[in-house]
Structure 1
């Protein structure tokens, strides 16, 4: 449970850092996202999850 809460905390840190450091980029990204098909966004999300799982696997071990 502690790992889950730590992961959520890191998510909020990274999300907050993105909004604080580059609010213009976030706004422009939000304006462009509707132009992508849902399937493209879904595939991008699956790839991002895979990279995250692989990263945790490398860091934590098998």
Structure 2
């Protein structure tokens, strides 16, 4: 169980690190856009990511 959590954390860090490593200017613009977005929109995106993650988690562990 613990190894699965650490695997997920490591994959998350790899994916999150690709943006600033490969395309720092584009990544920076994206962050600036996120910061200036309304909170309601950020909540919707966050909710969509949570639902997508849960669906993928369910499909993988089915």
- Tell me the TM-score normalized by structure 2: 0.84
Q: Which runs of 4+ in 1 moved over 4 A?
A: none
User: TM-score of the superposition, structure 1-length normalised?
Assistant: 0.84
Is there any run of 5+ residues in structure 2 with no aligned partner, and where? Answer: none
2:50 is equivalent to residue 49 of structure 1? yes
Mind listing any 5+ residue stretches in structure 1 that lack a counterpart?
Answer: none
Deviations 1:18-51 (A, max 9, x none): 2212111111011112321112101111101110
Mapping of residues 1-62 of structure 1, within 5 Å: 1-61=2-62
